[in-house]
Amino acid sequence: MTGAPQPGHDDDGTVPLGSCCRAEAVLGTVGVVNRLVSDAETIAANRRWWDADAEDYLAAHGEDLGSADFLWCPEGLRESDAGLLGELAGRAVLEVGCGSAPCARWLAVQGARAVGLDLSAGMLRHAVHAARDTGISVPLVQADATRLPFAEGSFDLACSAFGAVPFVADSAAVMREVARVLRPDGRWVFAVTHPLRWIFPDDPGEAGLTVVQSYFDRAPYVEVDRLGNPTYVEHHRTLGDRVREIVAAGLVLEDLVEPRWPAALHREWGQWSPLRGALFPGTAIFCCRRR
Ligand SMILES: C[S@@+](CC[C@H](N)C(=O)[O-])C[C@H]1O[C@@H](n2cnc3c(N)ncnc32)[C@H](O)[C@@H]1O
């Protein structure tokens, strides 16, 4: 689904998808193209994608994510062990791209005043059901991370576990918006696919060990329907790009965590696997603070 497309393409430059999941069938996805897409196109495509994929995403990963748990990444790092956000009790915390909001519910259990924000009504519907099932309720907001509907200085902390940042064309805008809604000295910690993964096919096996595209190629990964309309978009930034966007937003980068794949972890999660995890990082967690 994400990362470098496989070789071989149609006359119009579309690379046919090897296999088809339910969301791709629903959205009429036929292949992958290499072209620029606007912010608006990206947001519209990804809102439809996450609405269509919510059910299957949670069927595949819901058990690992837990109902009120803060898992940072497929490597299994949890906030309960990592403590990247610091003191939580009484803090106002924004989770950006919360999905079904297990992290926000965990934060609430720790005594934080957590708010979950996501673009997709389909994902947020699962958050509503989970709140009912667990009895842990957090305010949920449907919005785009590049336009946060909150006043300046509203939050002590902001966090994101693979939510929104890789799925927007203008991730610099997400950095600026988070900096705006954080109070001075507030922390912003976000996890994304490690930029190094961009150069490999999205394959957890041997095929995922061979470089097929340039790390410096910022053209997004774009799946399209028969008419060429984007149905899923993911945007690549190099490590340097991410640092520059963070600094330009008035944030200080305090740490970059690259979780190791634990020897005892045998599961695969999409393109993440023990095979690849033993050789190179799959996740980058940026720990920032507002000046
Ligand atoms: C991989 S999921 C991660 C969600 C959650 N952390 C989890 O593990 O379930 C990515 C989430 O980002 C959300 N998202 C994508 N683009 C977004 C945007 N522009 N603004 C806010 N959320 C967005 C999607 O709707 C989806 O719920």
Ligand 1 contact via 100 beta carbon (within 6 Å)? yes
Residues contacting 16, CB < 8 A, separation 6+: 8, 9, 10, 30, 31
Question: What percentage of the chain exceeds 70 in pLDDT?
Answer: 94
Q: Tell me how far the alpha carbon of residue 274 lies from the centroid of ligand 1, in angstroms.
A: 24
Q: How many Å separate Cα 16 from the centre of its chain? A: 24
**How much is the pLDDT for 14?**
75
Q: What residue owns the CA closest to ligand 1's atom 7?
A: 99
Q: What is the residue-wise DSSP string for 261-284?
A: PPTT----BTTB-HHHHTTS--EE
Whether residue 209 lies inside any domain: the answer is: yes
Q: Tell me how far the alpha carbon of residue 127 lies from the centroid of ligand 1, in angstroms.
A: 12
Strand-pairing partners, residue 286, are 190, 256
Question: Does pLDDT of 52 surpass 60?
Answer: yes
pLDDT averaged over every residue in the chain: 94
**How much is the pLDDT for 181?**
98
Q: Tell me how far the alpha carbon of residue 164 lies from the centroid of ligand 1, in angstroms.
A: 5
Give the CATH number, domain containing residue 122. 3.40.50.150
**How much is the pLDDT for 18?**
64
Question: What percentage of the chain exceeds 90 in pLDDT?
Answer: 91
Whether residue 208 lies inside any domain: the answer is: yes
Residue 166 contacts residue 197 (beta carbons within 8 Å): no
Categorize the per-residue pLDDT at 19 as very low, low, confident or very high, splitting at 50, 70 and 90: low
Q: How many domains does the chain have?
A: 1
Question: Does pLDDT of 76 surpass 50?
Answer: yes
Whether residue 5 lies inside any domain: the answer is: no
Dihedrals phi, psi of 250, to nearest 5 degrees: 85, 25
List the single range of 11-15, 150-154, 246-250 with lowest mean pLDDT.
11-15
Alpha carbons 168 and 3: distance in angstroms, whole number? 15
Question: Does pLDDT of 9 surpass 50?
Answer: no
Question: Does pLDDT of 245 surpass 50?
Answer: yes
Categorize the per-residue pLDDT at 8 as very low, low, confident or very high, splitting at 50, 70 and 90: very low
Categorize the per-residue pLDDT at 65 as very low, low, confident or very high, splitting at 50, 70 and 90: very high
Question: Does pLDDT of 252 surpass 60?
Answer: yes
**How much is the pLDDT for 3?**
40
Q: Is 106 helix (H, G, I), strand (E, B) or coil?
A: helix
Question: Does pLDDT of 12 surpass 90?
Answer: no
Burial track 42-58 (b if 16+ CB lie within 10 A, e otherwise): bbbbbbbbbbbbbbebb
Question: Residues 131-186: pLDDT tens digits?
Answer: 999 999 999 999 999 999 999 999 999 999 999 999 999 999 999 999 999 999 99
Whether residue 7 lies inside any domain: the answer is: no
Alpha carbons 30 and 42: distance in angstroms, whole number? 17
Burial track 69-83 (b if 16+ CB lie within 10 A, e otherwise): ebbbbbbbbebeebe
Whether residue 77 lies inside any domain: the answer is: yes
Whether residue 1 lies inside any domain: the answer is: no
Q: In what order do the strands lie in the sheet with 251-257?
A: 140-142, 113-118, 92-96, 155-161, 182-193, 283-290, 251-257
Categorize the per-residue pLDDT at 35 as very low, low, confident or very high, splitting at 50, 70 and 90: confident
Question: 64 lies in which domain range?
Answer: 15-290
Q: What is the mean pLDDT of residues 54-58?
A: 95
Whether residue 4 lies inside any domain: the answer is: no
Q: Tell me how far the alpha carbon of residue 255 lies from the centroid of ligand 1, in angstroms.
A: 23
**How much is the pLDDT for 217?**
95
Q: What is the mean pLDDT of residues 255-268?
A: 97
Ligand 1 contact via 145 beta carbon (within 6 Å)? yes
Whether residue 9 lies inside any domain: the answer is: no
Q: Tell me how far the alpha carbon of residue 10 lies from the centroid of ligand 1, in angstroms.
A: 31
Q: What residue owns the CA closest to ligand 1's atom 6?
A: 161
**How much is the pLDDT for 90?**
98
Ligand 1 contact via 53 beta carbon (within 6 Å)? no
Q: What is the mean pLDDT of residues 32-46?
A: 93
